[in-house]
Amino acid sequence: MPGKSACIECTLNLYPPQVNFPLCTIAQTPRLPEHCIEYVRMMQWPAETPFGKDIDGDNPEHIQWIFEKALERGSQYGISGITYRLTQGVVKNIIPAVASTNAVIAAACATEVFKLVSGCAPIMNNYMVFNDADGIYAYTYEQEKKKDCMACSLESQIITLREESTLRELIDFFIESPVYQMRSPGVTMVTAEGRNKTLYMKALREHTEANLSKSLKDLGVREGTEVNVTDVTSLLPCIFKIYFDSPMTS
């Protein structure tokens, strides 16, 4: 329930860590189809930049190029099983879904909706485990919202920057940080006079690109200034409070 219960981002610590393949295995001794795909994604794409941009997992041309190159590498090492679907799954880090599991989750969601609209029974609050290997085991508990959740929290997060930091460095930080992993962030702020000021926005690049080389202080950012950052990776704007004089941290 937006604004009331924890969102999926609040509960990411419940999930197992992402599987990463050792770079030496990918580059020198591939054994799995995934190794071939990761090699193309990590090594060949940056070297050849076939479309002159970053990989877009939703672009069929990008996935097709990686798929074909992975097939070539797989043939060199006698590795089979490389498919277009697997390629897209590796690039987008998709966990394959099983139809029966989807049906169980859909049934649970429909049941919860029915309980909400009819009041016939208490609603789930708000976590269920389904294990069909040894029968069904289900229980509920209330997962707490994270105050600093990137997806649903409206509280500001603190970022400490070097005093001479530029707007470009701030944007690069949001893109490169393993915490935020933004794609093309836009930054706005409220000035001391109470006016909204756009520091950078891709859609307004012609008017705001000159700000990228300027220091944040030259752009009016002071100690404790709050900036709003929007990006396609988050439904809501993220609010950051800026402080200076230390290395950039999250």
Residue range 181-195, pLDDT digits in tens: 888 899 999 887 778
Which of 55, 76, 92 delimits the end of a domain? 92
pTM above threshold 0.85: no
- Residue 250 confidence (pLDDT): 47
Report yes or no on 228 lying in a domain: yes
CATH number assigned to the domain comprising residue 212: 3.10.290.20
- Residue 136 confidence (pLDDT): 63
What is the count of structural domains for the chain? 2
Q: pLDDT below 70 — which residues of the chain?
A: 2-3, 18-19, 95-97, 126-127, 132-140, 154, 246-250
Which of 71, 92, 113 delimits the end of a domain? 92
- Residue 137 confidence (pLDDT): 65
| Beta-carbon-side half-sphere exposure of residue 120 (alpha carbons within 13 Å) | 7
CA pair distance 212, 175, nearest whole angstrom: 14
User: CA nearest 37: which of 82, 97, 77, 78?
Assistant: 82
Domain assignment of residue 210, given as a range: 157-243
CATH number assigned to the domain comprising residue 38: 1.10.10.520
Which of 40, 57, 92 delimits the end of a domain? 92
Catalytic residue IDs:
24
- Residue 13 confidence (pLDDT): 76
How far apart, in Å, are the Cα atoms of 171 and each of 96, 179, 181, 212, 234?
33, 13, 11, 9, 15
